[in-house]
Amino acid sequence: LVGMVVAVSYLLWILAPTASAQDPDSQTSVATGPAPRLNGKPDLSGVWQVPYVPDMSVTQGDQRGTAELPFTPWGRENWESYDPADGDYTGSCMPFGLSRAMNAPYPFQIMQSDTYVTLLFELNTWFHVIPIDGRNQPEDANPTWFGHSVGRWDGDVLVVETVGFNGYTRLDTIGHPHSDELRLIQTFERIDAGHIEYTVTVDDPTAYTEPWTNERKFSLMDGELIEYSCEENNRSLWEGRIKQWFPPWFDGPR
């Protein structure tokens, strides 16, 4: 139990804003008026402050969760047996995955054109490119940490579907599971000059008996992203304070 508390505390620490991070209270814009438009579509561009969502099932602040998650037997066993002290992958500075990157308490930037929307995360300077040119998902997407996304406009709402996850990540800091069958559906609606309403729906028949959704709101920031670096050889691994993570298929020495 002590080890688990230490591990969770460390994972919360690496995600918590520091003195060098953007201060959302001083950086959040008071932009008012209607949402700007780009070639007839809402312009999502900007640097956005997001709420920290360590647990996607709860409702608090600017997020609304699904209180009782509809676990399958596999999902519940995975959730109840999860122990972050046993080498959580984020402690080894591996990619957090799309869901967990969106949940982090650090801002991200949206860059938009007629053919692409790109998410630039302050968190470890990761990026995610979303085609919005009408293409479909590939039949056999190469499994990756952040998955493969395509987007489309539904009126003034950008709908992004992501598949092709490698199954190594978790949905949030508290450790809600998913499999490589995960399909994330995100929506972005710029409701005015200063805010985006965002939803994410988790559809994973291996882990959950039905899809479930989390909702939240983003606020425009008057600032820029700053550098964030977390590397695989971080000091806590060297000194043995946390256990190194290994992918499920690894059968070498540990």
Q: Give the tens place of pLDDT for each residue, 183-214.
A: 999 999 999 999 999 999 999 999 999 999 99
Least confident among 157-166, 176-185, 199-208, 235-244: 235-244
* Percent of the residues in the chain that have a pLDDT greater than 90, as a whole number: 69
Q: Contact, 173 vs 103, CB < 8 A? A: yes
pLDDT, mean of residues 43-49: 97
Res 248: pLDDT? 78
The model's confidence at residue 48, banded by pLDDT at 50, 70 and 90, is very high
pLDDT the model gives residue 179: 97
pLDDT-based confidence at residue 28 (cuts at 50, 70, 90) = low
Indicate the average pLDDT of the chain.
87
What does the pLDDT read at residue 4? 44
pLDDT band at 24 (very low <50, low <70, confident <90, very high): very low
**pLDDT, mean of residues 86-112:** 93
Which of 10-19, 89-98, 238-247 ranks highest by mean pLDDT?
Answer: 89-98
Indicate the pLDDT class of residue 1, thresholds 50, 70 and 90: very low
DSSP, res 54: S
CA distances from residue 131 to 141, 210, 251 in whole angstroms, order as listed = 14, 27, 37
Question: Helix, strand or coil for residue 242?
Answer: coil
- The number of beta carbons lying within 10 Å of the beta carbon of residue 14 is 17
Residue 252 has pLDDT above 80, yes or no: no
For residue 6, the model assigns a pLDDT of 42
Nearest to 175 by CA among 62, 66, 63, 54: 54
What pLDDT score does 16 carry? Answer: 46
Using alpha carbons, list the distances in angstroms from residue 87 to 144, 178, 205, 207, 234. 20, 17, 26, 21, 14
192, with CB counted inside 10 A (0-12, 13-18, 19+), is middle
Which of 98, 75, 95, 78 lies closest to 86, judged by CA? 78
Residue 235 has pLDDT above 70, yes or no: no
The arithmetic mean of pLDDT across residues 228-232, rounded, is 78
Residues 123-161: tens digit of each pLDDT: 999 999 999 999 999 988 899 999 999 999 999 999 999
Determine the 3-state secondary structure of 245 from DSSP: coil
In this prediction, residue 233 has a pLDDT band, given cuts at 50, 70 and 90, of low
Mean pLDDT over 80-95 rounds to 87
Report the candidate in 22, 88, 63 with the shortest Cα–Cα distance to residue 244: 88
